[in-house]
Structure 1
């Protein structure tokens, strides 16, 4: 390691230019340049001379001086100078990792961020962003083909060019990845990005296998594991020998299959099943139990009814015992006979990316699903190691991951921040959407909470009536005695736009009567929360359209 004092830098952009110039020198692996501290640290092959480094700096108009006590141990890659606060290593570059990196730097730490694949993690690259773009395109196709207003607006069969849709989708993914991840990292000299795969050497250091197949050791004061999760594949006979899709392959498919079979009954399976159906596939869903079987039963019933109305075949209590790929088609053997399809999507959950990390060497405990066990402060069983996001036992939502990453960074720097998930909203982007927050009745009863609940069908909500779309319901769960709202479940068009109001009500310990007394704008879906709250004490069918 070579340390160089750099004189003449006036801003972080100067530091970025020096870093770029140094890393263009053949044989230089990593350069860390700090504007606030006026120096650079360079990890390079022994063939790279000090003169080459100083010349590269001088060519930019700055003066470089080799610092006394030049580091000689090239097996170590410790990116932070001794006076730059803590050195935090972060494994991963998704929502949790980025939030943690930015908060850690804000608090004076220096960060080494290690990524083995594409910067940005699951959400922006192969998850939330591309899937919601595809779902929206499918929704538009569906409305052109069929809507409640076909009597006055002529329906038209859409001509779908999947390749053009995919190009549009990928362009937006690339744009957001650069704007929200790559560009931010490139412009922050306190964050060093190392491209390679990390594993723990012990509780204070990592070994990183770089993309050029060499290895470097990264010593750290604190480390955050934010490696995310990958699609889980069930142990179905023959499945691994077939060209099945996970969500990753489905989202980048250049063609819409004529027949698509989907194994799975929750978020990813159902979002993509409906999207492909609306883009032209004949879709069959195999649900081991029922759709959304972990949620209030009314949710699965409502979504199943909506899907069947669109021509999606939902097979409840159906499992594939064997999968084969013969003559260009998939053959699934079930207890109800064979199912044949051109493509097969397997979406049965996501497994944490922890197996290659050598966590045992650092004393980091995992649960039976190999997820890292953490407390409310994102601390693992190892004193200097934290974890956040989908690789942990937290709910697998990117906004939970980002919030956890921020709090982990605070705690790694000596703080005591906790993540409270009692009012965590969740949304499934089917149509109608599914949105939940707080307790369902069953969950409350397991906690020993006595409940009172009301369910309002959407034919009582003026916005739904005006839309000529009354599919679904809104359900409020209250605590008996206090009347405090403790849970909301909604299956409605745009349910995701109303659930945050419910989350805030729960967070602020509002009663259903207090919600019933609030002002809600007329002809909005969120007004359905007020109307449902009113049903605890009134018959809303006997109220005028906007009775307060």
Structure 2
């Protein structure tokens, strides 16, 4: 049988493409060498946020700040926490992936795929034997995997990644997290709130180096308040084991070498595309400089019948980007739609507590692109929702074009920032000005009102407003 679309991988991009193709009445086959569902449901979004929610519940029980309310929290039964996470993942994988494929009518082959002349795909089946898949179009949606930098001794002593850390059934007494971006920050706070003593080392001069400096400073204060040690501008060069401890040697700019002892090390230094064993070069598709599969704006590779989507392309590594890619490939490959995507208002969220969320340009990016900017920073102490929640840790920063007032970027450090940023996404998508944002309806006593208040700071002093008069 010759299929309309053969998909290699079974994550967000793969399923979005397969669903879109089946809705068009086209034939689909999917090939997966590992666990069906890809990163998000198995080792990424779902399990990490489930564990973060559990850790937050314990943290609130230990440190809730409302007068007259008493709560306590005991030791953590990590085996039970991890088992509950696994049960959730298994349920979602079955309902949203395995059963869905069966319901919509495509087969999932379990095995390793490799391109051969044609192009076609040879599949070494996990159950034994080999089969060949022929299709009009092929989609590479194999995702990404944690990347480990070359640190002397790391392999010998053993280390955790964001994937393996979420399978622990006992908590380490102490943990060194190498990497202070979104994954490292989430994992650091997760384990600290469960009772582990945590140190974060980041080679850049601040945490969350891709965010606004005010956001970086704010999240560092939060971590310090929760007892997490942070060393920025520091590079881990070697590790060795002494008894039950790992000793990490590191150098901080302008200082001598130092050492950090910890019972375990978690490496959170980014992810790299998964393309090993695919044989892409044999069908005219070369890798990019970071191992990604190069694609044009329509997500077509150098071979006109082979497409790529999601993390493997080197595009922003978010599951909603992968899903949008998958649908786009189905339209372009099967209908010749020649669609493209606009990333200028793409949101991003780091699920620390408070969350970090942003959309659009940072101030530095706007200046680099030639904009004359005007920016405002609103501390959460001026947002009524934060006041009644007794949690004013955070801020909202808006970046606007000075002569037009058009919003260029929004950056939020707050509880619920991932929901708040949607307001800015719509404003950016519709090229709104901060004046228009300041005059829009917004329900009172919501964190989203902070975006409106931040917009109002461009033309008025919000400290002189009554609590519910805008």
Query: TM-score category by the smaller chain?
Result: over 0.9
Who is 2:21 aligned against?
104
Q: 1:38-96 CA deviation, whole Å, 9 max, x = no partner?
A: xxxxxxxxxxxxxxxxxxxxxxxxxxxxxxxxxxxxxxxx354xxxxxx2110000000
1:441 corresponding residue in structure 2: 363
Residue 41 of structure 1 corresponds to which residue in structure 2? none
Q: Which residue of 2 aligns with 1:138?
A: 55
2:192 is the counterpart of 1:270:
no
How far apart are 1:325 and its partner, in Å? 2.4
> Partners in 2 of 1:210 and 1:363 — Cα distance?
25
When residues 203 and 494 of structure 1 are mapped into structure 2, their CA distance, relative to the original with a 3 A threshold, is: farther
Find the aligned partners of 2:186 and 2:117 in 1 and give their Cα distance. 41
Deviations 1:267-313 (Å, cap 9, x if unpaired)? 11110110000000000111112211122111211111100010000
- Alpha-carbon separation, structure 2, partners of 1:286 and 1:371: 27
Indicate how the Cα distance of structure 1 residues 296 and 202 shifts in structure 2: closer, same or farther if over 3 A, else same: farther
Tell me the residue number matched to 1:424: 346
Residue 103 (structure 2) aligns with: 187
Which is further off, 115-124 or 288-297? 288-297
Deviation per CA, 1:489-511, whole angstroms, max 9, x where unpaired? Answer: 11111101100111011101111
Instruction: Report the TM-score when normalising by structure 1.
Output: 0.83
Task: Give runs of ≥4 in structure 1 deviating > 6 Å.
Answer: none
Deviation for aligned residue 1:350: 0.3
Matched with 1:91 is 8
Mapped partners of 2:153, 2:277: distance in 1: 26
Aligned length in residues: 463
Please tell me whether the aligned partners of residues 204 and 221 of structure 1 are also in contact (alpha carbons under 8 angstroms).
Answer: no
Tell me how far apart the structure 1 counterparts of residues 208 and 233 of structure 2 sit (CA, whole Å).
12
Question: Take 2:430 and 2:100, find their aligned partners in 1: how far apart are those partners?
Answer: 35
Return the match for 1:314 from 197, 221, 230. Answer: 230
Answer yes or no: is the 8 Å Cα contact 1:274–1:307 preserved in 2: yes
Local SS of the residue matching 1:476: strand
2:46 paired residue number: 129
Unaligned runs of 5+ in 1: 1-77, 81-86
Deviations 1:381-426, CA, capped at 9 Å, x for gaps: 2111110011112100001000110001110112222111111111
Determine helix, strand or coil for the equivalent of 1:134.
Answer: helix
Map 1:154-173 → 2, pairs under 5 A: 154-173=70-89
CA contact (8 A) 1:264 1:285 kept: yes
* 1:204 and 2:126 matched: no
Match of 1:12 in 2: none
SS of residue in 2 equivalent to 1:187: helix
Indicate the larger mover: 476-485 or 244-253: 476-485
Partner residue of 2:254? none
Q: How does 1:414-493 map to 2 (within 5 A)?
A: 414-493=336-415
* C-alpha deviation, 1:362, in angstroms: 1.5
Contact 1:204 1:222 in 2 (8 A): no
Q: How does 1:503-522 map to 2 (within 5 A)?
A: 503-522=425-444
Matched position secondary structure for 1:220: strand
Structure 2 residue aligned with 1:293: 209
Question: Corresponding residue for 1:45?
Answer: none
The SS at the match of 2:187 is helix
- Say if 1:237 and 1:323, in contact at 8 Å, map to a contact too: yes
Q: Superposed, which structure 2 residues align to 1:74-89 within 5 Å?
A: 78-80=1-3, 87-89=4-6
SS in 2 for 1:509: coil
* Structure 1 Cα separation of the partners of residues 155 and 326 of structure 2: 34
Is the contact between residue 435 and residue 495 of structure 1 (CA under 8 Å) also seen in structure 2?
yes
User: Contact between 1:374 and 1:393, CA under 8 Å: does it hold in 2?
Assistant: no
> In 1, are the aligned partners of 2:202 and 2:234 still within 8 Å (CA)?
yes
Aligned to 1:329: 245
Query: Which segment is superposed worse, 360-369 or 341-350?
Result: 360-369
1:347-374 superposed Cα distances (whole Å, 9 cap, x missing partner) = 1000100122111112123221011122
Q: Deviations over 1:427-466 (max 9, x none)?
A: 0000110000001111111211221111101111111111
Match of 2:296, SS? coil
Partner of residue 146, structure 2? 231
Contact 1:203/1:363 (CA < 8 Å) preserved in 2? Answer: no
Deviation at 1:202, TM superposition (A): 2.9
Q: TM-score, normalised by structure 2?
A: 0.96
* 2:301 paired residue among 352, 363, 380: 380
Q: Secondary structure at the match of 1:208?
A: strand
Partner-residue secondary structure (3-state), 2:310: coil
- The DSSP-based 3-state class of the residue aligned with 2:428 is helix
Structure with bigger gyration radius? 1
Q: For the residues of structure 1 that align with 2:277 and 2:157, how far apart are their CA atoms? A: 25
Contact (CA 8 Å) 2:444, 2:468: kept in 1 or not?
yes
CA distance in 1, matches of 2:296, 2:428: 23
Q: 2:363 & 2:142 partners in 1: Cα distance?
A: 34
Conserved 8 A contact 1:286-1:315: yes
Distance in structure 1 (CA, Å) of the matches to 2:468 and 2:440: 12
| 8 A contact 2:2–2:136 mirrored in 1 | no
CA contact (8 A) 1:79 1:192 kept: no
Partner of 1:18: none
Deviation at 1:344, TM superposition (A): 0.8
Query: Offset at 1:203?
Result: 5.2
Distance 2:118 2:196 in 1: 50
